[in-house]
Amino acid sequence: MPIHILSDQLASQIAAGEVVERPSSVVKELVENALDAGATTITVTVRGGGRDLVQVADDGLGISSGEIEMAFLRHATSKLDTVADLEKVSTLGFRGEALAAISAVSRLTIVSRDRGAQGGTRLLLEGGRRTSRELVGAPVGTIIAVENLFYNTPARLKFLKSVPTEKRQIDEFVTRYALAYADVRFRLSHDNRITFQTTGSGDVREVLAEIYGAETTRTLLEIETEVPDREATDERAAINVSGFVGPPDLNWANRSHITLFVNGRWIRDTSLTYAVIQAYHTLLPAGRFPLGVLFINMPPEEVDVNVHPAKTEVRFRRPNTLFGAVQRAVRRTLVAKSPVRAAGGWAAGGGFEQFVPQHEHIAGWSGAAQVEMRLDWSRRYQGAELSAPQDGESEAAFEAAGDVEPSERKLPIMRVIGQVGAAYIITEGPDGLYLIDQHAAHERVLYEQFLAEWEQQKVVSQGLVTATAVQLPPSQAALLEDNLPLLRSLGFEIEPFGPHTFQIRSVPAVVARMDPAAALRAVVDDLEEGSTPLQGKVEARIVLRVCKSAAVKAGQTLSRAEMEALVQALEECESPHTCPHGRPTLIHLSVAQLAREFGRT
Ligand code: ADP
Ligand code: MG
C-alpha cells in the first residue's frame, strides 16, 4: 500500500482510542466536563454497564448555540489559551479531546443551554458526523447521552470487559468524584435503579458514609492539618494534605481503597500510595492495605497534568517533598488518634468499647520503618561511610525519624493475675481486665530490644559454649555464604565448615535460648524468599524472623516471674499495642463492659 494520509474519520477513531478506552472513560470525561462547568447537580444514568447508554446531565454553565458544534472538534477547548496556561492548569479538562473522541465512536445526543439563552440546542452526532440540529426548550445546563458505544469500532467492542466489571469501574469513578466534590449533588443509576447518591452538603463524611457505610465511616480518622513549623520551607508549606485514613484494623488485601486527589483531580500514583502504606508500617498484617482518602492541594504549577490522555497520571516537580508531606500527614494522624485494639472481636452481641489512650503512639513507627531506612544506608558491616538517602522513600523515613513525639506511658500499669490456655496472660489494670498474647507481646519486646541494639550499633552477640555445625541443602548453602557479612552484622558468627556445612560460633543474644541450628535455618529460609530483594528489606525481615522464632510460643506455660517480667518489658516498649507484624498484643475489657455483659447497666 502506498503511503497516504489517513482519512479524518479513521484518524479520529484512532485518537479516540487513547481517551475512550471503555464505558467508564466516557463517564469520567463527561463528569469532569460537568464539574469544570461549575455544576452543582450531576446525574449519571447508565444502561448495560455503559455499552447501551451513558448519560450525564448537569446544571452548569452550558454551551452557547453558536459554539456547540465546535465543542466536538478535536483540540477544541474553552479552558486553555496559551502555552503558559498549560503550566498551571486548574480545570479537570484542557486537552479538548474528550467530546471529539466520544462522539467519534458512538451515537451521541447533546442538549445544552447557556445562561443567557432563551432555549437550548439539540445536536445528534453519529460516528462524529452531525445528523441533526434543532432548538429545543431546556433548562440551563448540559445533557449528553452516549449510546451504542464502539458500534463502529468492532475491535474495541470485542475487548470490553463484562457488564459487572464495567459497572464497578463506573461506580468507582462516580464515587471518587463525589468524594472530591462533596458540595456537588451526585446521582448515579444503573438500569433504572439509583445505586448511589449524595446530598451535595459539602460534608465529606456524608459521602464516605454512602460509600463505606455509617459504621465504618465513624471509625475513620480525619487527617490533621499540619501546623507549619518555623523550619518548614515555602515549598513544604505550600502543600496541604487533608482527608481521612482508616484505623489499622480496617484493612484490605489490595490497595484500591487508597484514593488520592491532587487539586480535585483523582490520580493514580504508586509512590504516593506507598507513602500512605508506609505510614502504617508494622501496624498492618503483612499483605494488608489501609483505607485512605487524601486531598492534596498545591500550586498548579507544581504539577504536570499533561502526561497522559486520560489525565490520571501526573508528574510532580518535587516528588520527594510531596512523598514526605503525605507520609507525615498520615502518620501524624495515626499517632494522635489511632485507637488500641479493643476486645470488640469477641463480643458476641457487640458493645465492647474501644480503649483509647491519650496519646497513642503509632506502633512500630519508631521501629521498623526507621530501621529499614538505617539498615538501608548505613551498611555498617561493609565499613561504608554513611551516605545520604537516595530516594524519596528513605528521605521521607529520614525526615520522619526526627519528629516522633517523646514517649509517654503507653500502657497502664498492670498486675499479673494468671495465665489462660498457656497462651494468654491475664492482668488487671486501673480500668478492668487486659489479656495479653504472650507470643505477640514477647515478639514486640524482643524486636524493640534488637532495634535498640542495632541503633547503637552494638547488636549483642552471644558466643556458644560449643560451636554447632549445620548442614544445608546446596542452594541454601550458597545463599548463606553470600550473606555471611550481613548475618554477622546481625550477631551471627558463622564460618564455612566443609561442603554445605557451617559452624555457628555465636548468635544474637535475643535468640540465645534457642537451638542455634533452628535459628539459623529460620534466617536462611528468609534469605531465600524473594530472589533479589532490596538489602534493607532482607535485613528488616531477618530481624523480624529472629524475634519471631525466639519469642515464647503459645502453649508454653510461664512462671509468675516470667509473666511479670514480660508484662513489665511490654509496658516499656515504644509501641506496645501490636507485634511487629501488626497483630494486637493485648485486648482490654473495661469494668463498664463487664457491667454491661453482666446486665448491670
Ligand atoms: P476539554 O474538557 O479538555 O476542554 P472536551 O472535549 O471535554 O475538552 O470539551 C470541549 C469543550 O466543550 C469544553 O472546553 C467546554 O467548553 C465545552 N463543554 C463540554 N462539556 C460541557 C459541559 N458539560 N458544560 C459546559 N461546557 C461543556
Ligand atoms: Mg473535558
Residues forming CATH 3.30.1540.20 domain(s) in the chain:
361-442+555-597
CATH number for 220-337 (one of 3.90.70.10, 3.60.15.10, 3.30.230.10, 3.30.420.40): it is 3.30.230.10
pLDDT digits (tens, 9 = 90+) for 365-386: 222 322 222 222 222 222 222 2
Looking at the CA of residue 92, tell me the nearest atom of ligand 1: 2
CA angle 418, 421, 422 (to 5 degrees): 70
Mean pLDDT over 547-567 rounds to 88
Q: What local confidence, expressed as pLDDT, does residue 306 receive?
A: 78
- Ligand 1 pocket: which residues have CB below 6 Å? 29, 33-34, 37, 58, 60-63, 71, 76-79, 93-100, 142
Q: Taking 60 as the threshold, does the pLDDT of residue 174 lie above it?
A: yes
pLDDT at 233: 58
170 vs 544 pLDDT, higher one: 170
- Among 247-251, 285-289, 431-435, 522-526, top mean pLDDT goes to 431-435
361-442+555-597: in CATH 3.40.50.1000: no
Q: What is the dihedral of CA 73, 76, 77, 81, to 10 degrees?
A: 180
Beta bridge pairs of residue 146: 54, 108
Alpha helices in 253-312 (DSSP H): 270-279
* pLDDT bracket for residue 438 (50, 70, 90): very high
Nearest alpha carbon to residue 562 among 409, 416, 440: 416
CATH 3.30.565.10 residue spans of the chain: 8-201
Contact 340, 435 (CB under 8 A): no
In the chain, pLDDT over 70 holds for what percent of residues? Answer: 84
How far is the C-alpha of 244 from the C-alpha of 180, rounded, in Å? 12
Q: Which of 98-102, 240-244, 574-578 shows the lowest mean pLDDT across its residues?
A: 574-578
Tell me the pLDDT band of 52, cut-offs 50, 70 and 90.
very high
pLDDT for 456: 72
**Buried residues in 159-198 as b, exposed as e (16+ CB within 10 A):** ebeebeebbebbbbbbbbbbbbbbebbbbbbbeeeebbbb
Q: Across residues 416-425, what is the average pLDDT?
A: 93
| Amino acid 563: pLDDT | 92
Residue 30 one-letter amino acid: L
Q: What is the mean pLDDT of residues 482-503?
A: 85
Look at residue 228 in the predicted model and tell me its pLDDT. Answer: 58
Give the pLDDT score at 371: 28
Decide: helix, strand or coil at residue 65. Answer: coil
Nearest CA to ligand 1 atom 25: 62
| Protein residue with least CA distance to atom 19, ligand 1 | 33
CA distance 58 to 162: 28
Looking at domain 8-201, its CATH class is alpha beta
Q: Closest residue (by CA) to atom 13 of ligand 1? A: 77
Taking the CA of 99 as reference, the closest ligand is: 1
The reported pLDDT for the residue numbered 40 is 97
114 pLDDT tier (thresholds 50, 70, 90): very high
For 433, half-sphere exposure in the C-beta direction (CA atoms, 13 angstrom radius) is 15
| Contact call for residues 373 and 533 (beta carbons, < 8 A) | no
Contact predicate 593/433, CB 8 Å: no
For the chain, residues classed under CATH 3.30.230.10 are 220-337
Ligand 1 centre from 115 Cα, in Å? 15
Q: How many CB atoms lie under 10 A from the CB of residue 499?
A: 8
**What is the distance in A from the centroid of ligand 1 to the CA of 78?**
7
Q: State yes or no: pLDDT of 575 exceeds 90.
A: no
Question: If you measure from the C-alpha of residue 21 to the centroid of ligand 2, how many angstroms do you get, rounded to a whole number?
Answer: 15
Q: Ligand 1 pocket check: which of 33, 59, 77 to mutate, most ligand atoms within 8 Å of Cβ?
A: 33
How many C-alpha atoms does 24 have within 13 Å on its Cβ side?
A: 19
Give the architecture-level CATH label for domain 461-550. 2-Layer Sandwich (3.30)
Under the banding of pLDDT at 50, 70 and 90, the label for residue 362 is: very low
Instruction: State the average pLDDT over residues 118-146.
Output: 95
Ligand 1 atom with the smallest distance to the CA of 61 is 25
Q: What is the tally of helices (H) and strands (E) in the chain?
A: 20, 24
Query: Residue 89 — very low, low, confident or very high, per pLDDT cuts 50/70/90?
Result: confident
Our mutation pick for probing the ligand 1 site, out of 28, 36, 86, 97, counting the most ligand atoms within 8 A of Cβ, is: 36
Smallest-distance ligand from the CA of 110? 1
Closest ligand 1 atom number to CA of residue 102: 6
- Neighbour-count burial for 473-494, b at 16+ CB within 10 Å, e otherwise: eeebbeebeebbebbebbbbbb
Write the residue with the smallest CA distance to atom 16 of ligand 1: 78
Q: How far is CA 410 from CA 228, 281, 400, in A?
A: 27, 18, 20
CA 171, CA 188: separation in Å to the nearest integer? 8
β-partners of residue 433 are 428, 589
pLDDT at 338: 65
Task: Tell me what the mean pLDDT of segment 30-39 comes to.
Answer: 96
Q: How far is CA 306 from the centre of its chain?
A: 24
Q: What count of other Cβ atoms lies within 10 Å of the Cβ of residue 63?
A: 26
Element holding 466 (H helix, E strand): strand 461-471
Contact assessment for residue 461 and residue 491, using Cβ atoms and an 8 Å cutoff = yes
Determine the average pLDDT of the residues in 62-83: 89
Does the pLDDT at position 348 exceed 50? no
Mean pLDDT score across all residues of the chain = 80
Cα 120 to averaged position of ligand 1 atoms, centre (Å): 16
Give the pLDDT confidence score for residue 146 in this predicted structure.
97
Do 257 and 290 contact (CB within 8 A), yes or no?
yes
Closest CA to 58 of 68, 72, 48, 44: 44
Whether the pLDDT of residue 235 is over 80: the answer is: no
Alpha helices, H only, 61-148: 83-86, 98-104
Reported as a pLDDT band with limits 50, 70 and 90, residue 293 is very high
48's CB contacts (< 8 A; 6+ apart) are: 163, 191
pLDDT the model gives residue 21: 85
pLDDT band at 519 (very low <50, low <70, confident <90, very high): confident
Does residue 180 register a pLDDT over 80?
Answer: yes
Closest Cα to residue 341, out of 354, 324, 327? 354
